[in-house]
Structure 1
């Protein structure tokens, strides 16, 4: 290969413009990103060398070196990891896979500090070097290639870059930053050490810097101790020392790790700029031995619902990095959990396929799932304690750790509650624990703060079911005609508005022995809560309305499976329900919107015999129009749309005229 000049991918050019002109409020993140990349390169070498030990060449000790040259105004971050070939340098440094920049641009908020923290989340950390450098030189050689197949990559951060072959005896990569005049603070050992301690102390590889010692200035007049001296200064000794602890954070005793260190480690592995809500660090012993350090984030990632996104835990075996996103170690409904699992039992050459089949992996998955659920239960317990204290006006004395957890479960649930519900269908063994963690709005609370246990504690005497309704929005649920009799009798109803609710509740028939009953399914049956006089009045109305119901069935035979009198309505003329074993109209709409085939079924129209509009139907010359309007209005009230909106409008207009 000869020297050549190539253009950046359009998105990289756009990103570089953003980096050099906008993300300057927190410039030190470039140290974190470049050291993280260097550590990843060493991890990749260690992994590939499991099958090809010769890749270590004559340097088996992996490390990262940070050095600077004040005269040349350069800062170098070098590693002896896997390195890059010439083509890999072009591919990795000149393009961004999967349109990462577009996602990055779309996530920007205008808050420069927050925007800068996002940069590593999209795999574009290398370009953060241009925050402080007006030119970057990368020299690299891939492990296993001959010394004359090294590569030098150079760019000024504008529209192009140069690539040329070089001789490089050592494998690995050196990133040389030619610092701008306003970034000279990074040509200082104390400054670099403090940034490394802040962001990269957890890196399990040694991060080395050259030792410095103070040297007195030379005498201006040799031999004259009373003469003046040239200024002294720090001088490099030629010896290298580790400036980080160089041990994996999760291998240290918990008592030796501060909360700040736990939080910085989380930020490094997750590329999240916010501290986590909580974490758990445990050594598990028994038939399967492993260490787990698991975090629950404070905010949902932007791609939480992206089906193509890989999610999971970082897997290490005997402290050797094996893979990111080991999805087999955590169930899908806990895909928001971040962290590290280090196994003592798995083989070093474990693959994704083996992970799916391994008995040890199943044990780790089950243990980690239970640990996460325990963390959530602990947070939920403190939220429940706060609610109880507020209710009776008494506030107990709590320690600082308990105080720090107050309100955190509500914060978690607002971000991840909908994902947690997926576990009802995915994790049969933990279904009861998950059911206790769920929270909903209700006719007594607009916020998702009511648990099934809270609901049961408030059930009326004689109430035999937990009542709920599903809807597209909270407003639609609160104002549904199907709630009218429940409001009249003061019976609480849970309001479920997440898209996953309909699917998830198919797997939860009861809670602690009390059945769950949708108010939109089947004929209303309040059991002991409905007195005999009400039941008798409903039966008499059904008998008296038989001729009218027959006419309505005929007029609506293409829309409604049945028409019947109901006692559930108070103010509304009609509502739609489905049979006990039928698919709700909301779930049918969701399937249709997703382009999937929904079973062909028609709802049941229930009418209020006391409503003036229903009474006016009998003998009306506009019977068919009124019947169709009644049905379409019931459909609109629950968030649906008539099959023929124009026909509905024509009927209403005709009656208005």
Structure 2
């Protein structure tokens, strides 16, 4: 052993999370052992897989196990594995830095959390397993050697801002985490983590299903005739939970297994235990979380499903088994008929794997559909957390599009508090109504205050209010539901009149078209750089103007989305509709008829167009010019 040591600082985010752990925000401290055992199990799985993939890797994978060692006098507890281990750089990367999407958002939410319970929930969503050790330890030491390397690394910290890294000439293969426990409370033996019965209880409760033996050497008291002895016992049953019949598994066992595979600290919202038989046998144990992970929308976010073959771990995050829009689903799939050295590339092409994927997806969607029907509160939780992601399936999973359309919920003008499904909208449609009307925007308030909504509100037509970015795309792609066209209130011409109303109003409309023909032609010329047409509106009741698109035009939001993704799309000119009954518009017509010309009249038209853009939440091409013209006009009124 040498003394090549250096002291480093934790990354700022890691330092803040450690401070939370050191000061014990989490009430159930027992889970620290679950987290360390779970990490050790992952390391053993990775070593076994590495030894199969790389036949030249000089490792001993014959007796993969986890050992728990206790020194009651020194008050230390060690969790040791002979798994894959870590290099020095990996230690710094994995422990000294939280290189994980969502860290900043987590810390912001933690600062805003009102109580310890809320903080616990957030920490659980993030999954900071190793750091849980600092809830019970005043100092943590880690010794590790990566499989195939000769030297090792020691990491040591009190969790107060710095850690020490020491290079070792030799170390056992794998990782040993030693906790120097905080002083014992004489009145609180429940948290004596050096007691054999306590360790047994925690392992049984949280880690009984771990596929590798968890061993501990225990003392057996002597007697007058025989000295005290020690023996090594295995603390877990090692029974694969997914292989057991559902009726034999307790809900608490499912919950603890979920926490093992997800590193979440909350119970799952729903458990799916299924078995496939016939030409291709498999078992699957899947979970729908209660909360969305913080990296749900990150390209680097983890997918949730692990692949096993005949109880042997093959790979994490198996994207061949789960579509991207169900990336939040956690769990395992154990296939019986695959090769142990299967690769991701082969899996993508495997006909049997594709068949399993189809069955898993149908089962998950059927489970959500049942929640919607039978347990609306649980469904509401699901949709609040995962609805925006599930709607991505309407773009990528045409096979299940009908089912997805049945389970989605959206806000609606029908009820400000309760969302609706599409079937509910159909039931409330007015007699003779042929279209399902929707509006898109950043939030409900912006949409409801948009000029596009005026005629629909006046006539009592229900409008779906879509505020997720994906909504802009799926409504266009899907196009219709149950034979009814999905139609934007901000596109095309709008005619909500009955036949009788249309007949009665036709003479007035013809008069307006004649009266406004010259103004419309002039405005189309003045605003030609911004709009492709100026026309009279049938959708406005109180606003002077609005901007709309042709039926098949890209929306401004979609234009922005495509450009943000680096795709060049042509600039789409939209249509300015003006309200012939509004005083501003009638005044503009009279001024034009009386021969007014020049910049003042053109600027009025420009202001009319700009206010229409702002009213729908759009962006002005030249905000400074708009503000100057408006200020000049206001000054003249004083």
Please state which band the TM-score falls in when normalised by the shorter chain: 0.7 to 0.9
Judging changes above 3 Å, is the alpha-carbon distance between structure 1 residues 254 and 601 closer, same or farther for their aligned structure 2 residues?
Answer: same
- Determine which of 485, 488, 491 is the counterpart of 2:458: 488
Describe the shift of the 1:319–1:114 C-alpha distance in structure 2 as closer, same or farther (beyond 3 A). farther
Aligned residue runs from structure 1 range 283-302, under 5 A: 283-302=275-294
Preserved CA contact (<8 Å) 1:463 1:528: no
* Distance in 1 between residues matched to 2:17 and 2:446, nearest whole Å: 43
1:330 aligns with 2:334: no
Corresponding residue for residue 522 of structure 2? 551
Cα contact 2:127–2:265 (8 A) shared by 1 = no
Task: Classify 1:192/1:654 alpha carbon distance in 2 versus 1 (closer, same or farther; 3 Å).
Answer: same
Establish whether residue 373 from structure 1 lines up as the match of residue 380 from structure 2: no
Contact 1:548/1:618 (8 A) holds in 2: yes
Aligned partners of 1:33 and 1:120 also within 8 Å = no
- Between the aligned partners of 1:332 and 1:176, the Cα distance in structure 2 is 39
SS of the aligned residue for 1:618 comes to: helix
**Structure-2 residue corresponding to 1:2:** 2
1:423 CA drift (Å): 1.0
Classify the secondary structure of the residue corresponding to 1:161: strand
In structure 2, C-alpha distance between the alignment counterparts of 1:101 and 1:487, rounded to whole Å = 40
Answer whether contact 2:36 2:79 (CA < 8 A) is retained: yes
2:451–2:615 contact (8 Å) kept in structure 1: yes
Q: Comparing 110-119 with 607-616, which one deviates more in the overlay?
A: 110-119
Spell out, residue by residue over 1:438-483, the C-alpha distance to the aligned partner (whole angstroms, 9 max, x if none): 2111111224621111111111111111111112221111122122
Per the alignment, residue 49 of structure 1 pairs with: 51
Is 1:523 aligned to residue 521 of structure 2? no
1:96 is aligned to 97
Does structure 2 retain, via aligned residues, the 8 Å contact 1:210–1:236? Answer: no
**Partners of 1:592 and 1:49 in 2: how far apart?**
46
Q: 1:562 aligns with which of 533, 548, 560?
A: 533
Given the alignment, which residue of 173, 177, 180 partners 2:179?
177
Q: Please give the TM-score of this superposition, normalised by the length of structure 2.
A: 0.88
Match of 1:615 among 576, 586, 597: 586
Pick from 128, 132, 138: which aligns with 1:128?
A: 132
Instruction: Report what 1:31 is aligned to.
Output: 33
**Aligned partner of 1:203 among 196, 210, 221:** 210
Distance 1:447 1:288 in 2: 47
Once the two structures are superposed, residues 540-586 of structure 1 have per-residue CA deviations (whole angstroms, 9 ceiling, x without a partner) of 42233212211221222222211111222111221111111111233
Contact 1:9 1:94 in 2 (8 A): no
- Does the CA contact (< 8 Å) of 1:136 and 1:155 recur in 2? yes
Name which of structure 1's ranges 236-245 and 370-379 shifts more when overlaid on structure 2.
236-245
Structure 1: how far apart are the matches of 2:94 and 2:354? 38
Partner secondary structure for residue 545 of structure 1? helix
For 2:629, the equivalent position in structure 1 comes to 651
Unmatched tracts of structure 2, length 5 or more:
186-190
State the SS of the aligned residue for 2:69.
strand
C-alpha distance 144-603 of structure 1, shift in aligned 2 (>3 A):
closer
Q: Partners in 2 of 1:365 and 1:195 — Cα distance?
A: 35
Per-residue deviation, 1:116: 5.8
Q: What's the secondary structure of 1:49's corresponding residue?
A: helix
> C-alpha separation between the residues in 1 aligned to 2:623 and 2:233?
76
Contact 1:210–1:237, Cα closer than 8 Å, also in 2: no
| Cα-to-partner distance string for 1:88-127 (whole Å, 9 max, x where unaligned) | 6754676436268955645534655665676687675334
Shift of 1:635: 0.9
Aligned pairs for 1:299-378 within 5 A: 299-378=291-370
CA contact (8 A) 2:126 2:294 kept: no
Residue 463 (str. 1) matches residue 433 (str. 2): yes
Q: Do the aligned partners of residues 533 and 120 (structure 1) sit closer, same or farther apart at CA in structure 2, a change above 3 Å counting?
A: closer
- Cα 1:240/1:55, change in 2 over 3 Å: farther
From 545, 564, 576, give the equivalent of 1:574. 545
Q: Using the alignment, how far apart are the partners of 1:172 and 1:420 within structure 2?
A: 40
1:613 to 1:293, Cα distance in 2 relative to 1, 3 A: same
Choose which of 69, 72, 82 in structure 2 pairs with 1:80: 82
- 3-state SS, counterpart of residue 317 of structure 2: strand
Contact 2:146 2:152 in 1 (8 A): no
**SS of equivalent residue, structure 2 residue 580:** coil
The verdict on how the C-alpha distance between 1:79 and 1:113 changes in structure 2, with shifts beyond 3 A counting, is farther
TM-score, structure 1 normalization: 0.85
Contact 1:45 1:55 in 2 (8 A): no
User: How far has the Cα of 1:64 moved from its partner?
Assistant: 1.5
Q: For 2:465 and 2:228, how far apart are their aligned partners in 1?
A: 68
Deviation, 1:655, is 3.4
Cα 1:456–1:90 change in 2 (3 A) is closer
